[in-house]
Amino acid sequence: MWQQRIPDETRLRYLADLLELLPKRPDVLELGVGAGVQSSRILAERGRLTGVDISRQQLRRARERLPNATLIHGDFTSVELPRATFDAVVSFYVLNNLPQEELAPLLRRVADWLRPGGWFLAASRARTIPVGVASGSEQRCTSPAASPRRTGV
């Protein structure tokens, strides 16, 4: 499995940091939830997890591993989700494959889905994700490249 090639302590460390910032039973949206690996299971056990993935095959696996999660088959660049619904949006090793021009619009969607004061955690192997483009609200962003911080907009 591809994930075994990536040291997972980093992901779990940042997930633990994020959980410290969230309410007791947070509503979390995961973009590209994949097959429902350990980090997704932690989120589904701790609160209410909604996962979106474009691959039916991955979602089939995720359904077995995340029986309590809401799993949506769709493209996160176009899927319709209610606004101001999530305490956090997370995405692990997904955004590095997104075309550059789709990144800013996606971050605006993320900002829209988050409740005021919500958090965005994105892990990406080979990409700097600019924080600050999700304008117009109090969203905060965090990534392995930086400590949690407010967007400057």
Ligand X SMILES: C[S@@+](CC[C@H](N)C(=O)[O-])C[C@H]1O[C@@H](n2cnc3c(N)ncnc32)[C@H](O)[C@@H]1O
Q: How far is the CB of 116 from ligand X (least distance, A)?
A: 25
> Which is nearer to ligand X, 77 or 85 (by Cβ)?
77
> Which is nearer to ligand X, 50 or 58 (by Cβ)?
58
Q: Which of 43, 52, 71, 121 binds ligand X (CB under 6 A)?
A: 52
- Give the DSSP H or E segment for 44: helix 38-46
Q: How far is the CB of 39 from ligand X (least distance, A)?
A: 7
Instruction: Answer yes or no: are the C-beta atoms of 132 and 104 closer than 8 Å.
Output: no
Would you put residue 9 in left (φ > 0), alpha (ψ -120 to 50) or beta? alpha
Residues that bind ligand X (rule: CB under 6 A) add up to a total of: 16
Part of the chain binding ligand X (CB under 6 A), chosen from 42-50, 52-60, 127-135, 142-150: 52-60
Tokens at residue 81, please?
């989700």
Residue 55 and residue 34: Cα distance in Å, rounded? Answer: 8
Burial class (CB in 10 A: 0-12, 13-18, 19+), 105: middle
Q: Which of 21, 41, 48, 55 binds ligand X (CB under 6 A)?
A: 55
Q: Indicate the DSSP class of residue 93.
A: S
Q: Which of 14, 27, 28, 34 binds ligand X (CB under 6 A)?
A: 34
The reply on whether position 69 binds ligand X by CB under 6 A is no
Q: Which residues bind ligand X (CB under 6 A)?
A: 2-3, 32, 34, 37, 52-55, 58, 75-77, 92-94
